[in-house]
Structure 1
Amino acid sequence: MEFDRLKGKFTIQQVKMLNPLVLAFIGDAIYEVFIRTYLVDKNRELSVHKLHIEAISFVKAHAQSDFMKFLEDKLTEDELIIFKRGRNSKSGTVPKNADLQEYRIATGFESLLGFLYLTEQIERLNYFLNMIVCLKENNK
């Protein structure tokens, strides 16, 4: 499947109507691929196990919650609405290693990424993803 086939499939209005957990489903995948690609690029000599451990430090709910707290004041009105819809969604079970509040904020974060991806706001998506990488690098 070519990514070009996805171009123009969703209008902003259609994406706004999607369940925020569907947006989080997409956002989670986009975030995971970005982080894994970043880590492989920066650490080509690491084993898969060590790459996985590094990836966890970016993708766990606690980290996503911290990133979102840093990014929240940089959101547009539409982005903030999407984030809050995702954060306030009832998703069922919370992973045993996550606190409920952090998990909900992480879900809002993933919803935001899914929204930006599906609405083809790639520059804005890259802005946030690169800001996260810089934040993580500066806090090592």
Structure 2
Amino acid sequence: MMKPKDAELLNGLALAYMGDAAYEQLVREHLLTNGQTKPNQLHRLATNYVSAKAQAWLIDALLEEELLTSEEIDYYKRGRNAKSYSKAKNTDGSTYNKSSGFEAVMGYLYLTKQEDRLHELIGLCISKVDKTLA
């Protein structure tokens, strides 16, 4: 388990790297649990949850609804403001930066073993996306 102090030493993009994997895994579990089994369909559906555009929309909603702690907001800002040397694919820089911030929050929660909180936030996000797909 990584201690919060150790997570504080990681840069925003390292946190986002881990958060991307943690978030996508739970999204994949959600899709499989709900009976989706065809690979092409799984990939297409997962994009609704894990694309930069979706993650930017989700983090905006979490912030607007004041669902993040002050500490989580700090990690969001760290990820959002991190200097990325790769180009955003299929989106603008602002959307890409917000999605990196979203992933940094998830990475921080995952690495510090705050599993209940991680599952709570991801559950909220999945629910929000599910409502748009219904």
* TM-score w.r.t. length of structure 2: 0.93
1:96 CA drift (Å): 3.0
Matching residue of 2:9: 17
Q: Distance in 1 between matches of 2:85 and 2:112?
A: 27
1:105 CA drift (Å): 0.3
2:21 alignment partner, one of 26, 29, 32? 29
Structure 1 residue 124 and structure 2 residue 127: aligned? Answer: no
Matching residue of 1:70: 61
Structure 1 residue 40 and structure 2 residue 27: aligned? Answer: no
Structure 1 residue 135 and structure 2 residue 117: aligned? Answer: no
Structure 1 residue 86 and structure 2 residue 86: aligned? Answer: no
- Partner SS, residue 86 of structure 2: coil
1:129 CA drift (Å): 0.5
Structure 1 residue 60 and structure 2 residue 60: aligned? Answer: no
* TM-score w.r.t. length of structure 1: 0.89
Alignment-mate amino acid for residue 70 of structure 2: E
Gaps in structure 2 of 5+ consecutive residues: none
Q: Distance in 2 between matches of 1:18 and 1:66?
A: 25
Q: Please list the CA deviations of residues 10-37 of structure 1 after superposition, one character each: whole Å capped at 9, or x if unmatched.
A: 1111101111111111001111111111
The sequence identity of aligned pairs, in percent, is 34
1:132 CA drift (Å): 0.8
1:47 CA drift (Å): 1.2
- Partner SS, residue 128 of structure 2: helix
Gaps in structure 1 of 5+ consecutive residues: 1-7
2:96 alignment partner, one of 81, 99, 103? 103
